[in-house]
Structure formats: structure tokens, C-alpha cells
Amino acid sequence: MTDCCIPKGGAYDLAVIGAGSAGFSAAITAAEAGARVALIGDGIIGGTCVNVGCVPSKALIRATEGLHHARAANRFDGIKAGARLTDWAATVAHKQALVDELRAAKYEDVLSAHENIDHVEGRARFDDEGRLTVDGAAFPATKIVIATGSRPHVPAIPGIETVEAIDSTSALELTDLPALMLVLGAGYVGVELAQIFARAGVAVTLVSRRGVLPEAEPEVSEALEGYLAEEGIRLERVTGYESVARDGGSVRLTGTGGEWFEAERLLLATGRVPNSDALNLGAAGIGTDARGGIVVDAQMRTANPEVWAAGDVTGRDQFVYMAAYGARLAAKNAVAGEARVYDNRLMPWVVFSDPQVAGVGLSEAQASAAGHEVVTSVLPLDAVPRALAARDTRGLIKLVADAGSKRLLGAQILAPEGADSIQTAAMALRAGLTYEELGDTIMPYLTTVEGLKLAAQTFEKDVAALSCCAG
């Protein structure tokens, strides 16, 4: 590894712009194919996931789950337990230590194992002639992969720049907890952060225009909204946002219907914006969509035949594993002349709320829109033995199938341990199983994944009439 600019042999085979998960995936893939690679990064190495996204948020989710589960232990007769937060700053510092450890182990130290990858620190952009530069100097490379990621979106609400709002990055760095917090947006980021802070003792109001997890199945969204409310999270729907202003020690958010909400802190969780605006893409003949996502074809190539893009900067499938997957394809197509196609049809996704939400394939609405005659199965978790034994029946499982062929089209799970079961559904869809075949599959008793078997049987049976392990 070196912090150089141009190798002795001339131009690099591949320049990768962005040193996050997608960038590393592209660089390592190309290097393993024998290419000479420049990995160009501006800022802290490792990108969103390890530094300010997946790793820190899931660490704090697990920490506050401990508080909640101790308090909920009295659902078992004869047990009384509790937990209290004594030092939030220490919890945050513990989280940061994990971030630092994983950034070193999975990013910084990894580069030394790849002699044909040069790590170049600097700001990459295209000049007005469409040529790649780093810190203003020409940077010759035969092919380019753009993997510059995304950043939190700031909604265009009058006054938003004056109230010192926090976002998903700065929220995870707070060492002093406010008494009251407004969370704007109830997608997966808003839901996860709202629950973290509510369980840490903050009075949270979750404000949104489309409700909780609006892209999930309506049964899932409605049930999760109820569980959040049971934990004391105040849920408010508005048609729009009129203004936001500082009022003494509080922030006041006013909706277009005249409603208003106050809190010490306003947390913005209204999505993410691709980091494409500083690259001068137009000069290189590279197009973007209305939200700034780089437009790519099925092979991850941009309108410029020498440039590919992958990850959050494309504006789609903003999950770290999909960023890495797309970057691998882009690198293989760029340096090896392959024509691999990005396929997200069976992409599993997870929301780390409690209970967790996970899905794969088509929702009922999507399947109907695709022309299927749809049949569904909805199994409440109180029909799953694992949930009964755990005395925690929050949740449900919904399966979507084609009525004629009985072939499974999609699945969503709302369950305390749902995330670890969704891959079974993904494999069932990949194998083209019918719900009858999934219902006949042998699954271990007293596991959450057994709920998929029961949900499959529910298409044509009353599982309440079956004995344990029957069918």
C-alpha cells in the first residue's frame, strides 16, 4: 500500500472513487483479477456502514435492547428484573471503540494484503474536459468505478438550517441525552433511532407523512406502529411541514395542518442523498436521476462507456451488502470485460426494530401490479410455538404466492428474531418453491423459522388444528 498518485507503468487499470464498502469491494475484486488499482478516498476510510451506519447503530440497538428486555422479564411468572442506564457517554464510547476496531480490521489492515492496490487520499472529480483528477491534478486511469456513497437528506423546510438539527450520523455521537426528541421520518432509519432513544429514556415523538415503514406490507406497518406506541413512542402523521424554528431551549416543528410539536432536539431521518453533486459528472457525460443517483444500466455502466458506478451513489438498494455486490459486478465488467447483470429480485432486507422486520421478494401490491393472481397467508406470531414459549407473541408472518401455480412470490416477517429467518424465505423463492413444498419442509421445532412452515401451511390449513410438529 502507498499514498502515491501514478504508478511507474503509467495509467492505472482501474480507479475506484470512494473508500467505503462498495469501493473496497470493487478494488479487491479488480486486484484479484490482476488489475492495478487506485482506491481514492476523501475522509475517514471505511465509508458509511462501519463508521456512522450499520455498525454503530446496531451496537446501540443491542445495548438498549438489554434495558428493554430486562424490564420486560416480568412477563414470566416468578421473575422480577430491571435495568437502568447509568452512563450514556460510556455506552457511546464503547460503541465507538467497536467502530474503530472494525474499521482497522476490515478496511485499513485489509489493504496491506493487496500489493496491487494503491490507497490514494484526495478528492476526485472530473475536470471540464471530462478527465479524472485528484486534488486538481490529472489522474490517468483506463477504467473508473464511482462508489462515493450517500449522506443524510436535509428536507427543504423553512428554518431547518437555523435549529441545529441532528441526523443519523450526529445522533449516534450524542453523549448527553435530551429529555424530548422529535424524529422526522418513520422509515427504517427513523424507526431504529426512535426506539434506541426511547429505550434510553428519551420521550420520543415520531413524525411522518406516510406512517411507519410505508414500504412494508400494511399488516406489518400497522402492527409495528402499535408496538412502538406501547413503548411510549408518540406517533404523529402530518400532511406536510410548514416550518421549524428555535423557541428558547426547544425546537418547534409546525405542520401544514397547523399542528405543532416541540422538543429539545430534532433528528432528521428523511432518507439519504447520493454523493454525486461534487464530481462534475456532466463533463464526463454521466447522467443522474432526479435525486442525484448516478444512472447505470444492468451491468452497472454509466452513459460514459469507461465509467461504472455502484452502491448508494446510484440511489438504489441502500444496503451495504448490495453495495458490495454491485461493486463486484462493476469491477468484473470493467477490468475483465465481463457482462454480469445486477439482479435484486430476491434481495433480502432487514429493519432492526424490535420486533425486527424482514422481507424478500414481492409484496402483495407488487405481485398484483406485476399481473399475478395473488393469494396470501398471514400468520400471527401467537400461532408459532417459539413465540409462545418466549412469552413474546409480537408480530406476524405474511407470505405472497401466485394462486394458480402456488409458487411463492414474497415474504415479510415481523418478529423479535425475524431477521435470522428471512434468508430461509429467500432460498425458498430462489428455488422456486410452492407454498405446499415450503409447508412440507422439515424445520426444527421451537424456532422462529418454523413460523415460515406454519405460514405456508396456513394457505390451505387451519394450523390451530394441528398438534406440535404435525404436518
Say whether 192 counts as a known binding-site residue. yes
**Of 171, 167, 198, 177, the residue nearest 65 (C-alpha):** 198
Q: Is 315 annotated as a binding residue?
A: no
Q: Grid coordinates standing for 241? A: 411541514
Q: What is the 3-state secondary structure (H, E, C) of 84-111?
A: CCCCHHHHHHHHHHHHHHHHHHHHHHHH
The CA distances from residue 304 to 16, 93, 109, 201, 356, in Å, are 15, 44, 33, 51, 41
| Residue 150 marked in a binding site | yes
Residues in the chain, overall count: 471
SS3 state of residue 285: coil
C-alpha cell at 339: 457482462
292 annotated ligand-binding residue: no
The answer to whether the annotation marks 189 as part of a ligand binding site is yes
CA-closest candidate to residue 146, choices 125, 120, 129, 127 = 125
**3-state secondary structure at position 452:** helix
Shortest CA distance to 338 belongs to which of 20, 3, 30? 30
Give Cα separations from 147 to 305, 323, 425 (angstroms): 16, 9, 30
As given in the structure block, the three cell numbers for residue 217 are: 406490507
Is 191 marked within a binding site? yes
Q: What string of DSSP letters covers 385-447? A: HHHHHTT----EEEEEEETTT-BEEEEEEEETTGGGGHHHHHHHHHTT-BHHHHHTS---TTS
Residue type, 117: I
Distances (CA, A) of 218 to 35, 91, 412, 459: 48, 35, 11, 19
Q: Is 188 annotated as a binding residue?
A: yes
φ and ψ at 163, to 5 degrees?
A: -110, 5
Distance CA 433, CA 436 (A): 8
190 is in an annotated binding site: yes
Rounded to whole angstroms, how far apart are CA atoms 390 and 437?
28
Instruction: Tell me the one-letter amino acid at 287.
Output: G
3-state helix, strand, coil in the chain (%, to 5): 35, 25, 40
List beta partners, residue 17.
40, 146
Asked whether the beta carbons of 291 and 156 are under 8 A apart, the reply is no
248 assigned binding-site residue: no
Q: Is 341 annotated to bind ligand? A: no
Say if CB 207 and CB 194 are below 8 A apart: no
Binding residues, by number, are 58, 148-150, 185-192, 271, 312
Binding residues for NAD(+), by number, are 185-192, 271
Binding residues for FAD, by number, are 58, 148-150, 312
